[in-house]
Amino acid sequence: MILNHRRALLVSACLLAAAVLLGVLVAVPSTHAGVQSVDDAVRRAAVSARNRPTTLLAEGLSLAGGVWVNWPIRFAAVVVLAVRRHFVQLAAFVLAVVTSEILIGTLKSAYDRPRPPGSLISTSGASFPSGHAIAGAVTAVGLVVVLLPPGPSRWRWEVRAVIFAFLMALSRVYLRAHWLSDVVAGGLLGAGLALGWPALLQAIRGRRDPAESVEVEPAMDAP
């Protein structure tokens, strides 16, 4: 599933630590003002850049990151992994999804941050962190990790997954459904969970079966 689970765990820890740091900056009054000033500047830029074609594109990206798209894709992935009997990948993906959904509700309730004014789409709940950004990163990054074998092809798809998650998160800022810090924290958290759970389960599996801990670097120049 992951060729170097130690490195993947380190990357996941860095992503999650960055999300925690941003969460602290938002929560502490002395640093919140600085974060809010950046958020306000980005919101003003989004308002000034508003046009019909970009708004339609942003609405489409926002819809692609919503529950009506995310959950059917997740369900289909679970079925595929179960049919293939890839139970470690299945467990990793389910754990990433479940923990992300728990954190979305818990953190939104804890922060209770107001949404930006003048949203172009209907919203509900608190603003921080962005549920769309978390769910989009967990689904896009997580699917690539658990469904594709290691190698150059997976790297290309990981890049595409990150680009999609990034653009989808930015669409929420453009639509004034979230502050920039909401989607940055959400993206970091979602990507960290999507990468961390597979790496953690593989590390545990490697300890139980030493043969599973052998790591072979991919041939990046392979066709």
C-beta of residue 65 within 8 angstroms of C-beta of residue 71: no
Q: Is 126 helix (H, G, I), strand (E, B) or coil?
A: coil
What is the C-alpha R_g of the chain? Answer: 18
- Give the pLDDT score at 79: 97
- The pTM of this model reads 0.89
- Give the pLDDT score at 210: 54
- Give the pLDDT score at 5: 84
- Give the pLDDT score at 3: 73
- Give the pLDDT score at 215: 42
* Alpha carbon distance 155, 18 (integer Å): 23
- Give the pLDDT score at 220: 32
**Which of 157, 138, 194, 135 minimizes the C-alpha distance to 12?**
194
- Give the pLDDT score at 219: 36
From residue 171, give the alpha-carbon distance in Å to each of 32, 64, 217: 23, 11, 36
C-beta of residue 191 within 8 angstroms of C-beta of residue 158: no
- Give the pLDDT score at 209: 61
* Full pLDDT tens readout for the chain, 223 residues: 677 888 999 999 999 999 999 999 999 999 999 999 999 999 999 999 999 999 999 999 999 999 999 999 999 999 999 999 999 999 999 999 999 999 999 999 999 999 999 999 988 889 999 999 999 999 999 999 999 988 888 889 999 999 999 999 999 999 999 999 999 999 999 999 999 999 999 888 776 665 544 443 333 333 3
